[in-house]
Amino acid sequence: MSNEVKPSPRERLLEAAATLTYRDGVSIGVEALCKAAGVSKRSMYQLFESKDQLLAVSLKEQASVYVTTLLPAADDGRSSRERILYVFEQVETQAKAPEFRGCRYLAVQIELKDRSHPASRVAHEVKANLTAFFRAEAERGEAADPDLLARQLSLVFDGMSARAGIQADDLTGLVAPTVRTLLDAAGVR
């Protein structure tokens, strides 16, 4: 007899939303979400006021995993330059996985287009936090213009995520030299 605890309907819905929207996009239907989670539509609407809310909560809950797998630990002893490069190394490594579809938060923003959508607001916040990380590290590394460098790094991040996500490029030999060039030009140590 197993003592394994079965995930709750809420947890199953959140996991289904995370998996299906990453693989198939946010236009995935309520029926498909409920079927994948093994939950009735009625139960879904008792737990979440709408599919939009389910998507937003799922994205918010995925954010901690995203940050943990992407950003270096705080005060890990690395230089700002090394901390910034670490982020890009993580994406380059993740991009080699066959199931990689790019940055889920960028994809949500592109698909939804409506910045007032609950899921879009969550995605926007996560992406803004990444830019803020780049800005803080650029400032700590004494970049000539930390705001500009943060925006440039976000641009490279989103571009590499998108190109790898659609299998247009495997990123080999591309990302690190590009980021190093930006860091050198900004004077980041």
Instruction: Give the pLDDT mean for 12-37.
Output: 96
pLDDT of residue 1: 54
Q: Where does residue 162 rank: exposed (0-12), middle (13-18), buried (19+ CB within 10 A)?
A: middle
Instruction: Give the pLDDT mean for 14-34.
Output: 95
Residue 129 above 60 pLDDT? Answer: yes
Instruction: Give the pLDDT mean for 91-116.
Output: 93
Q: 52-186: which CATH topology?
A: Tetracycline Repressor; domain 2 (1.10.357)
pLDDT of residue 59: 97
Distance CA 116, CA 100 (A): 27
Residue 39 above 90 pLDDT? Answer: yes
**pLDDT > 70 in the chain, percent:** 98
Q: Indicate the pTM of the whole model.
A: 0.91
